[in-house]
A and B are shown apart, each in its own frame.
Chain A
């Protein structure tokens, strides 16, 4: 229980925190978007939970998956808008979408685990460890980005591209889960090298959407999102 909770918290929190760290490095002059995102996320997380049951029932029981797909797509689109120059609104959209995903998943995990089989204590301890590890990685990540930025601004572009690629692969995976896309044969299996159920696997998953057994569609969507964002970054910096 404890290990599971830690991994779930890291998996859900890290994407938001890594995105936040990258956006903070990208626009360290203004913090308006941060307060706007915090406020909007708080409102959404207060308003949405009572409707989660109804949302789940939508579209033949795939409502929640559709909500997640739209959140991932919103983040991806927000990254495109961000690179087109509308930094503030794009940051708010991206951060809200990721925070919503994280909030709903943690809420569902908490609701299904707290109070069952006397595991509440392990749950809370796991949550504290998960939040601590996630937040620490984000702080170190932010400082590491600052150091790397001094070497090359391209690092930031690469980070955005990896975050965008994660949204691409997550969207396709969710579409596969609700049978909107055919699931193909796995191109390789790297679970022996890095399992998705270890801390490192979870970190990679949260960072760039690591998939141990990706199929052609997943790989295609990952590469397409990655290259598109990287090209936009280079175009924005006048190098394309």
Chain B
């Protein structure tokens, strides 16, 4: 993912360096040209002075200069650096080699056959020009780190509201939908902030509606369902008194349907109640092993009816901090599922162990088990393996494991499914912090 800050800083500094350095180079070129012109003017002035006075001694010129003064072919004067022979350069400015150096030469002829040549070593001129001009580039180069630092500071400052906004969003909990507030809102960020807050508002309202809907529907259904149950009970009693068979198939189906609806309504209400967003857990020290024994005792009649063998193994006392109601619901749901899906005479085993800072509860059965591909999906609400009826032919709402997962997450625990230690079946492992 690209960073706006990094992009802005790198591109701005690159553009600044490029333009400053290219401008410095251009300025170097122009200044060097100007320096060359000044040096040339120097040569011209020296030549003119000598011409006017016809006396070299009276003219002061730099020792590094080479001067030849001739009348016709006769050498009247030559400086130390000048060759004994005439240089033979054309009139005006040119570049010539003599005395082992390259020179910038200026030649001027007068009407009375006087001929003067003034020259300067080219290397020296370039060096002098370099010294003068490079001095003007230093400030450009040396000020760049400061400019880069300023760019970094300004960009960081300008992007601070965006960073704050981003931190505010990332640090929020999943269920926190209150509006985001920033101290300073730049003009560009205002529409984003406004849209985000509108979105939070709509989401919050939608979640509240969704939460209320399931609970309200379940509540509303309870009353007519109770009426239905009573009416069904009365009808069955009356029919029994009139000598009709109670085991009539249609009546049995009606009673099963009403039972299922009752169970579903109870589960929806439990799901709503145990939802991490709503549930106000009352954490207290609990003995998980004791709670398991209590739940097994509660389910004794069901186990007896199906002639199933149940065992509790492992730790005899396992102290954890949990909500008693919620944890009992977890164990009874898991045990209820095991009883439901394990065939008559099958095996169920609860194992309690101690992990690394966790209490582990394994509920294993010898039922048909679940395909590993469906391990994740079974925690989804209303998910039923094989559709409305499980392959074991057991009716259910598809909410039990969703409730269990919500409660486990509420306790900062984990829940995982695996194959059972029996020949077939499922092992549900719940890990809760100690």
Contact = CB atoms under 8 A, between A and B. Distances in A.
B77 interface: no
A122 interface: yes
Contacts of B137: 2, 125, 129
Interface string A175-201: 000000000000000000000000100
A129 B142 CA distance: 11
A195 to B, nearest CB: 14
Interface in B1-28: 2, 7, 10-11, 13-15, 17-18, 21-22, 24-25, 28
Contact of B7 (A2, A121, A133, A143): A143
Contact of B15 (A128, A135, A136): A136
Interface string B125-140: 0110010011001100
Interface string A1-42: 111001000000000000000000000000000000000000
Contacts of A146: 2
Contacts of B14: 135-137, 139-140
Contacts of B59: none
B29 interface: yes
Given A125-B138, A133-B17, A140 B11 contact: yes
Contact of A199 (B22, B126, B127, B138): B22
Contacts of B234: none
B15 A140 contact: yes
Contact of A133 (B2, B11, B18, B138): B18
Contacts of B2: 146
B10 A139 contact: yes
A1 B130 contact: yes
Contacts of A140: 11, 14-15, 18
Given A133-B21, A199-B25, A119 B130 contact: yes
A121 B127 CA distance: 11
A128 B143 CA distance: 13
A112 interface: no
A29 B330 CA distance: 45
A137 B18 contact: yes
Contacts of B22: 133, 199
A136 to B, nearest CB: 4
B147 interface: no
A115 interface: no
Interface string A130-154: 0011011101100100100000000
B163 interface: no
Given A3-B25, A125-B141, A129-B141, A136 B7 contact: no
Contacts of A6: 25
Size category of the binding interface on chain B? 20 to 34
Contacts of A137: 14, 18
A16 B137 CA distance: 27
B123 interface: yes
A73 to B, nearest CB: 32
A79 B138 CA distance: 40
Given A3-B29, A132-B17, A140-B18, A118 B141 contact: no
A3 B31 CA distance: 13
B30 to A, nearest CB: 12
B17 A135 contact: yes
Nearest to A146: B2
A128 B141 contact: yes
Nearest to B138: A125
Contacts of B127: 117-119
Contacts of B15: 136, 140
B17 A121 contact: no
A132 B144 CA distance: 10
A133 B25 CA distance: 11
B28 A3 contact: yes
Contacts of B130: 1-2, 119, 122
Contacts of B138: 125
Interface in B258-294: none
Nearest to A138: B14
A140 B144 CA distance: 17
B24 A121 contact: no
Contacts of A135: 14, 17
Contacts of A139: 10-11, 13-14
Interface string B337-379: 0000000000000000000000000000000000000000000
Given A2-B134, A119-B130, A143 B11 contact: yes
Nearest to B11: A143
A119 to B, nearest CB: 7
Nearest to B19: A136
B148 to A, nearest CB: 11
Nearest to B140: A129
Among B2, B7, B18, B29, the most chain A Cβ lie within 10 Å of the Cβ of B18
Contacts of A143: 7, 10-11
Most buried by B among A117, A121, A136: A136
Given A136-B18, A143-B7, 17 more contacts: A2-B130, A2-B133, A3-B28, A117-B127, A119-B127, A125-B141, A129-B24, A132-B21, A133-B17, A133-B22, A135-B17, A136-B15, A139-B11, A140-B15, A143-B10, A143-B11, A199-B22
17 contacts: A1-B126, A2-B130, A2-B134, A3-B25, A117-B127, A125-B134, A129-B24, A132-B18, A133-B21, A136-B13, A136-B15, A137-B14, A139-B10, A139-B11, A139-B14, A143-B7, A143-B11
Interface of A: 1-3, 6, 117-119, 121-122, 125, 128-129, 132-133, 135-137, 139-140, 143, 146, 199
Interface of B: 2, 7, 10-11, 13-15, 17-18, 21-22, 24-25, 28-29, 123, 126-127, 130, 133-134, 137-138, 141, 144
